[in-house]
Structure 1
């Protein structure tokens, strides 16, 4: 099967629309989302509806839960808190119900989906150092662990027996057609698709991943979108200027 892996859409309808258009040529069987569908951007409801229409299996992100009162926003920065307050006022009853139903982790063989870290899913840790990655991949019970949250695309191979990272591929290295072994007793793999709606690796294009489980291949993709339109909506909504400006920088 061919799976599309999306994460961190953050209410950016222009970016999500561009990704879904790009996926039309990829013969996708199923769409998986790693959370943070809402927050920051100006189209939370429309993004949720697009995912519902495609029956996307979605894990909860910290912004998703904060926007329905299931996560304290005291740890959020000022711009993120302002976006949460604004987003709450935009959500329909159906939107709130959908966000409340997002689970912290999802298992869809051969994948485990989580927004942050598997060792403490409810804490939404950033997987930014080797020890955290090793802990998460040691905890993971499936061959492939899908995690978002950092907005940084990466592919990591882990040797279970030696408890060490064997391979790490990140932007701007070539990230197309990466192979993985079907060896669940010996290997684990971490795949972070980067962010659809707010990339932070210096490339403003929307980021997503396609996994072909028959060929055992992982391909990272980037697609341009109408950044100016997304920025204009953020400004018209009265959201913090930083949330609009950063889209053009990919930071």
Structure 2
């Protein structure tokens, strides 16, 4: 099976459409989202529409949880908090109900896969995993981890290989998974990349060949940012898209 796994759309319709179009050339059997369909961008309803129709399953992201009143986000910085308030007012009731029911994790035991927005150690805390030190915190649950855990949240593309006593980063690209290791794969972001590459990020996992691939695709940033500039959202949410940060 070829799985299309992506994360952090963040209401960026143009990026999502570009990723879905790119996936069409990849013979994908099943699609999965790692959460944060909403937050930051100008098209939360449109993105919820597409994700809900496309994916077999998705997990709850922290922005999803905030919009759906499932977490306290009063400590978020002002612009992010205002965007979440705006999306909560804007979102269709059906999409809001969907966010309220999303799980924190979704196991795929038939593939040896776990889906989680942030760290699987305490998924309801939405902790980051994008450094080796953060990956080492998972060694304590090594026996509970499946072969590969896909995460989002950091908006960064990362791969960490784990043994019982070691966690180390390996370069992003195309990887044949070593059966003697477990892996944490951070898939980057569709709608707000933060690695100074402004192209939308997505991944493919071939369960038969045990190959994980990272892909990037350009999208119409001008159009996306223009919608943000014309909305009540903070202009920086549009500006940062051009820089990929």
TM-score, length of structure 1 as denominator length: 0.92
**Aligned mates of 2:80, 2:38 — CA distance in 1:** 11
Indicate conservation of the 8 Å contact 1:59/1:106, yes or no: yes
**Aligned mates of 1:28, 1:134 — CA distance in 2:** 32
| Secondary structure at 2:39 match in 1 | coil
Structure 1 residues 60-79: aligned runs within 5 Å: 60-79=60-79
Q: How many residues align?
A: 241
1:214 to 199, 205, 208: 208
**Aligned mates of 2:106, 2:34 — CA distance in 1:** 9
Give unpaired runs (5+ residues) of structure 1: none
Structure 1 residues 105-116: aligned runs within 5 Å: 105-109=105-109, 110-116=112-118
Q: Indicate the RMSD between aligned Cα atoms, in angstroms.
A: 1.3
Alignment of 1:233 onto 2:227 = yes
2:127 to 125, 128, 142: 125
Structure 1 segments, 4+ long, off by >6 Å, are none
Indicate conservation of the 8 Å contact 1:159/1:166, yes or no: no
Match of 1:85 in 2: 85
Match of 2:149 in 1: 145
Match of 1:54 in 2: 54
C-alpha distance after superposition, 1:63-100 (max 9, x if no partner): 00100111111221112101101101111111011101
Match of 2:103 in 1: 103
CA-CA distance at 1:137 after TM superposition: 5.3
Match of 1:248 in 2: 242
1:179 to 176, 183, 196: 176
